[in-house]
């Protein structure tokens, strides 16, 4: 049993981490919860027990923590994650702070568990949309990826509680606070800040992280990321070109047997993945599989997953379990 800490325990992802630790039967002997000074003294629930929030400080290194799950943003991660890792704690960080650092593994357990070695104390959790996309694509890697294009349809919960509140505000005819335009009855082709080339930071994350996870640094990848008025669960349209010839049926067969994937692809019965199906689960739902009519050996896939669970909290817990089972922390 381990002393587990959740950093950012009052946020949407931190709260979900507490829930998932219990649901996935993670070997928690002691649970500590950390957040900012303004949240210190508040109480969160874990496994039916109230846990008092502790203000995060460098004193955390003296608390005997075996596993730390970070869900508090990049600035906090940059300050405290390496510090804990240096003192022997296994750290899984949900921010983007360390994802593209060459010496830090970026891990989705169903896709690249081999990226974790016995010396890794700090492991990065990928972007939510990247996670579900690579889970859908990994069973097809043997076909050889020549190019990948993503179009995302991302729920407001990806912005945390403030995104959910903006959707509710719009339904009442109020102006948005979080987004630059109303999200109710609207869509925004804008997630994170715009870069000089016209892509957003969110789009660049998907591009860079896909290349790193599949260990193909020169793989042509492109993305368009869109915020939609859905409360929870992201959807991604994937267009992928393979170097080896295949068929729709072969793709379906590969996905049907893949870990972490649920195949939902029977359009004759109007069966395809939807956010309502994925919310509250840890699987990635894949369907609408069809051959592209314009490009050789190119196929379309549609995947949906709970962005707070598999896209963040559950993947982090699964990464920690994999690391512990493979002797990273003893």
246 is in an annotated binding site: no
Q: Is 234 a catalytic residue?
A: yes
154 is in an annotated binding site: yes
Give the neighbor-by-neighbor strand order of the sheet with 284-291: 221-227, 145-154, 234-242, 298-305, 284-291, 261-263
Long-range contact set of residues 173-181: C-beta below 8 Å, sequence gap at least 24: 179/227
Given 181, 190, 225, 234, the catalytic residue: 234
Nearest partner of 72 among 89, 87, 57, judged by Cα: 57
11 is in an annotated binding site: yes
CA-CA distance, 306 to 119, in Å (whole number)?
Answer: 31
121 is in an annotated binding site: no
30 is in an annotated binding site: no
CA-CA distance, 297 to 53, in Å (whole number)?
Answer: 53
Given 62, 128, 190, 300, the catalytic residue: 128
313 is in an annotated binding site: no
176 is in an annotated binding site: yes
- In this structure, the dihedral spanned by the alpha carbons of residues 289, 295, 298 and 299, taken in order and rounded to 10 degrees, is -10
- HSE at residue 168, side-chain half, CA atoms within 13 A, is 6
54 is in an annotated binding site: no
220 is in an annotated binding site: no
231 is in an annotated binding site: no
Nearest partner of 112 among 17, 210, 33, 22, judged by Cα: 210
269 is in an annotated binding site: no
Q: Is 225 a catalytic residue?
A: no
Binding residue ranges for NADP(+)? 10-13, 38-39, 157-158, 176, 307
Annotated binding site for phosphate: 99
Question: Which positions make up the binding site?
Answer: 10-13, 38-39, 99, 154, 157-158, 176, 227, 307
| Residues tagged in the binding site annotation for substrate | 154, 227
Active site residues: 128, 234
């Amino acid at each position: 049993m381990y002393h587990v800490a959740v950093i950012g325990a009052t946020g949407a992802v931190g709260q979900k981490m507490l829930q998932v630790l219990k649901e996935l039967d993670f070997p928690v002997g002691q649970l500590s919860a950390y957040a900012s000074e303004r949240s210190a003294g508040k109480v969160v629930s874990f496994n039916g027990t109230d846990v008092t929030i502790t203000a995060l400080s460098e004193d955390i290194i003296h608390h005997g923590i075996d596993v730390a799950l970070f869900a508090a943003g990049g600035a906090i991660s940059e300050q405290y994650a390496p510090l804990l890792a240096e003192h022997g704690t296994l750290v899984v960080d949900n921010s983007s702070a360390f994802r593209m650092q060459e010496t830090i593994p970026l891990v989705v357990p169903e896709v690249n568990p081999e990226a974790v070695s016995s010396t890794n104390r700090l492991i990065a959790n990928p972007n939510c949309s990247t996670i579900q996309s690579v889970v859908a694509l990994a069973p097809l890697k043997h076909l050889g990826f020549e190019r990948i294009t993503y179009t995302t349809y991302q729920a407001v919960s990806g912005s945390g509680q403030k995104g959910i509140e903006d959707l509710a505000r719009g339904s009442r005819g109020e102006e948005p606070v979080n987004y630059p335009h109303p999200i109710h009855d609207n869509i925004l082709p804008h997630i994170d800040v715009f870069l000089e080339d016209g892509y957003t930071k969110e789009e660049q994350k998907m591009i860079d992280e896909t290349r790193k996870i599949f260990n193909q640094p020169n793989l042509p990848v492109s993305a368009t990321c869109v915020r939609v008025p859905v409360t929870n669960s992201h959807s991604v349209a994937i267009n992928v070109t393979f170097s080896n010839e295949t068929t729709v049926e072969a793709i379906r067969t590969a996905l049907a047997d893949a870990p972490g994937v649920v195949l939902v692809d029977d359009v004759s019965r109007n069966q395809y993945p939807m956010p309502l199906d994925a919310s509250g689960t840890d699987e990635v739902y894949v369907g609408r599989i069809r051959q592209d009519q314009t490009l050789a050996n190119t196929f379309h896939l549609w995947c949906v997953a709970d962005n707070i669970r598999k896209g963040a909290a559950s993947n982090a817990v699964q990464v920690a379990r994999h690391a512990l089972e493979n002797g990273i922390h003893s």
